[in-house]
Structure 1
Amino acid sequence: MTTHAPQATHHTASAGATQPAGLEVFTFGEPEPISRLRLLDYVEAMFNGRWYEPPFPLEGLASAFRASPHHGSAIYLKRNILTAAFIPHPLLSRETFKAFALDFLVFGNGYLEGRRAVTGRTMRFEHALSRYTRRGKDNRYFYVPSWNEEHEFPAHQVFHLREPDINQELYGLPEYLSALQSALLNESATMFRRRYYENGSHAGFIMYLSDGSVGNADVETLREQLRRAKGPGNFRNLFVHAPNGKPDGLKLIPVSEVAAKDDFSAIKNASMADVLAAHRVPPGLLGIIPNNTGGFGNAKEALGVFMENEIAPLQTLFETLNDWAGDEVVRFEPYQPGGQGAS
């Protein structure tokens, strides 16, 4: 959605009155698009004649997966714990479950295709990428890796594990969506600081020149020197000689002073706290160094609470495959505090 600046309105001055100088008003930056997080409350999964389109862009979730180190690390931690406790089954290998679990945690949807023999017996389960899998009517499923490629899975051979959504019942949505903007803010802050140090192409100040003793040739020379100071190696000094010049004829007015007050560390810490709260992961389990003397407490106790409140419910979700398959395909080793799982 784009906004337009209001049109200037001119008023005719009375006879003999001095016409004031025109006032120019402008805004900083470009129009921002409406966040699709809010649009989720007003739209549903659209049916294109073959399958339903996801209510949220899956390519956006895929790219945001590595936007923040805390976001990606929290998902990998859950995936690794689930995979380590998973007991392989002849129908479902550990590698397949690992990919299946990662897809579910990132997209809120996980798909397994049951490959069957001619007799109808399930030989094994294969993982179907959630980013390209679509759901049609009557539980039909399609694999759409590109706009001109599609493959329809055989009927009743795709198991769909989804994180329930309050707005529609076709696709799942990941739990961390409320912290997605914080993860992107973390990435933006890092990229801005990196560009700042790489090329320094930001607007650092305004040079205000009002001294009449400086001629046009001197102004051009000054402009050329400022242009050369931009880019790599821009932190250099500039000498200006203006005989009989006014004390305030040349001023430097910083325009990035407000941005300088924006503490980089505060942005990183605040966005990190939002992401970890959405994932419900103790910071000590991600290798984060505490800023206070008290630290994060006992790591083993934090792990025990995390296993009980977060990993155990996830294991229960994955075990729903057993009801669909009619066999105990998904099993996990019990967690033993202070030691390894039972063999």
Structure 2
Amino acid sequence: MGRRKRRQKFHAQPAQTAQAAAPTGSNSPLMFRFGDPDPVLGNDLSDYLGTFLEPHGDYYVPPISQTGLVNLLGANAHHGTIPYFKRNMLRKWYLPNDALKPDDLANAGFDHSVLGHCYFQVVYNHFGQVLRLQHLPALNMRRMKEADRYCMLRPNGNSPVEFEPGEVIQLKEYDPKQQIYGRPQYLGGVQSVLLNEDSTLFRRRYYRNGAHMGYIFYTADPSLNPEDEKLIKEKVQQSKGVGNFRSMYINIPNGKEKSVQIIPVGDIATKDEFERVKNLSRNDVLAMWRIQPALAGVMPENSGGFGDIEKISRVYYENEVIPMQDVFAPLNEYLPAGRKIKFMQPQDLTDG
């Protein structure tokens, strides 16, 4: 029997931008904010009630801002590139199949890593048989009130694209607080990602503006006349700004010891622990993604390096790549015999 007629024809489209994907309406609830250093136990109402229906729609609002999770990828170099590395590992060992193209699998793997869930549209032929599975961008996908019903948000306040029951497959991480959307595994390290970004932005602003108060210029000599004092003041002011870190020579005739003193009050170069903050927050980011530094492009701090890269790759494949492949095993329940998805077994990594 053929499929029922869809309410609205849909063709796969790339994910909308963060601004376009956000639901319109000022009454849309937001359960999770990025940017503020808030504690996990914030006594928020959503901590007790879970996921809500969108006030002006027929779908559930994700408990975590999907746009915030996507924007967070640009906050840190490692957090922004590791999901692509995981995606590449998933696609690397995939055996191409017409029922699921490698790009569709890779994009779904990226969504699953970053957002905690991914979606596929089941495409049927004229006889009602499964033709292929097509990736749907998770950023814009929403679960509707009815069971097994999903819709895709559209920009500019247009009505969502609604899918028929059973037309969309959702794969998600388990969340003990709600069972509608998935929960990304790295949420515990979000504050470290933002701390890493804050430390970088602070250092950039310091070098960019060049108008910080890093010292007190102190003079105590009666022989310093007003003209010389004015000239010194002008030279100090001229030393501020981008690229204007300059030295200045002062000669006071008949001056005494300590007539001119430079009293440091904030030595950013040695006392802000920039490197320590960057290293500690980077280690948190690597830990939350469970990836070895050698695979994340981190330079070793000792001459011994990180060890045997082949053994590291083997352990990563067994502990991370295979479980990620298993996430997509349920797709075979929808595919006919002879067209099920399979992955290669790399002998150089699996052999002891």
TM-score scaled to structure 2, two decimals? Answer: 0.76
Residues 244/38 of structure 1: CA separation in 2 closer, same or farther (3 Å cut): farther
Q: Is the 8 A contact 2:317 2:349 kept in 1?
A: no
Residues 198/165 of structure 1: CA separation in 2 closer, same or farther (3 Å cut): same
Match of 1:81, as an amino acid? M
Residues 227/324 of structure 1: CA separation in 2 closer, same or farther (3 Å cut): farther
Question: How far did residue 303 of structure 1 move?
Answer: 1.2
Q: Distance in 2 between matches of 1:142 and 1:214?
A: 77
Q: Is the 8 A contact 2:99 2:340 kept in 1?
A: yes
Q: What's the counterpart of residue 173 of structure 2?
A: 163
Q: Distance in 2 between matches of 1:146 and 1:217?
A: 65
Q: What's the counterpart of residue 343 of structure 2?
A: 332
Q: Distance in 2 between matches of 1:112 and 1:216?
A: 78
How many residue pairs match? The answer is 309
SS of match in other structure, 2:318? helix
Q: What's the counterpart of residue 38 of structure 2?
A: 35
Question: How far did residue 104 of structure 1 move?
Answer: 1.0
Q: Is the 8 A contact 1:210 1:249 kept in 2?
A: yes
SS of match in other structure, 1:297? coil
Residues 218/42 of structure 1: CA separation in 2 closer, same or farther (3 Å cut): farther
Residues 252/127 of structure 1: CA separation in 2 closer, same or farther (3 Å cut): same
Match of 1:133 among 127, 138, 141: 141
Question: How far did residue 205 of structure 1 move?
Answer: 2.4
- 1:210-249 map, 5 Å: 222-239=232-249
Match of 1:45 among 51, 60, 83: 51
Give the gaps of 5 or more residues in structure 2. 1-34
- 1:243-282 map, 5 Å: 251-257=261-267, 260-282=270-292
Q: What's the counterpart of residue 215 of structure 2?
A: 205
More moved, 251-260 vs 297-306:
251-260
Q: Is the 8 A contact 2:214 2:268 kept in 1?
A: no
Q: Is the 8 A contact 1:159 1:324 kept in 2?
A: no
1:111-135 deviations in Å (ceiling 9; x for gaps) = 1111234543333222111111111
Question: How far did residue 291 of structure 1 move?
Answer: 1.2
Q: Distance in 2 between matches of 1:152 and 1:216?
A: 78
1:166-187 deviations in Å (ceiling 9; x for gaps) = 2211111211111222222223
1:186-241 deviations in Å (ceiling 9; x for gaps) = 23333333343344243322445677887887766555443332212221124566
1:151-178 deviations in Å (ceiling 9; x for gaps) = 2222221111111112211111211111
More moved, 135-144 vs 300-309:
135-144
1:13-34 deviations in Å (ceiling 9; x for gaps) = xxxxxxxxxxxxxxxxxxx835
Q: What's the counterpart of residue 192 of structure 1?
A: 202
Give the gaps of 5 or more residues in structure 1. 1-31
Q: Distance in 1 between matches of 2:169 and 2:303?
A: 48
Match of 1:114, as an amino acid? V
Q: What's the counterpart of residue 103 of structure 1?
A: 111
More moved, 186-195 vs 229-238:
186-195
Q: Distance in 2 between matches of 1:148 and 1:45?
A: 22
Q: Is the 8 A contact 1:36 1:56 kept in 2?
A: no
Q: What's the counterpart of residue 61 of structure 1?
A: 69
Q: Distance in 2 between matches of 1:141 and 1:213?
A: 82
Q: Is the 8 A contact 1:112 1:127 kept in 2?
A: yes
Instruction: Determine whether 1:88 maps to 2:96.
Output: yes
Q: Distance in 1 between matches of 2:167 and 2:39?
A: 32
TM-score scaled to structure 1, two decimals? Answer: 0.78
Give the share of equivalent positions with the same residue, in percent.
Answer: 36
Please provide the CA RMSD for this pair: 3.1
Match of 2:50, as an amino acid? E
Q: Distance in 2 between matches of 1:51 and 1:177?
A: 24
Q: Distance in 2 between matches of 1:153 and 1:223?
A: 71
Q: Distance in 2 between matches of 1:319 and 1:100?
A: 13
Residues 187/90 of structure 1: CA separation in 2 closer, same or farther (3 Å cut): same
More moved, 210-219 vs 226-235:
210-219
Residues 140/38 of structure 1: CA separation in 2 closer, same or farther (3 Å cut): farther
Q: What's the counterpart of residue 301 of structure 2?
A: 291
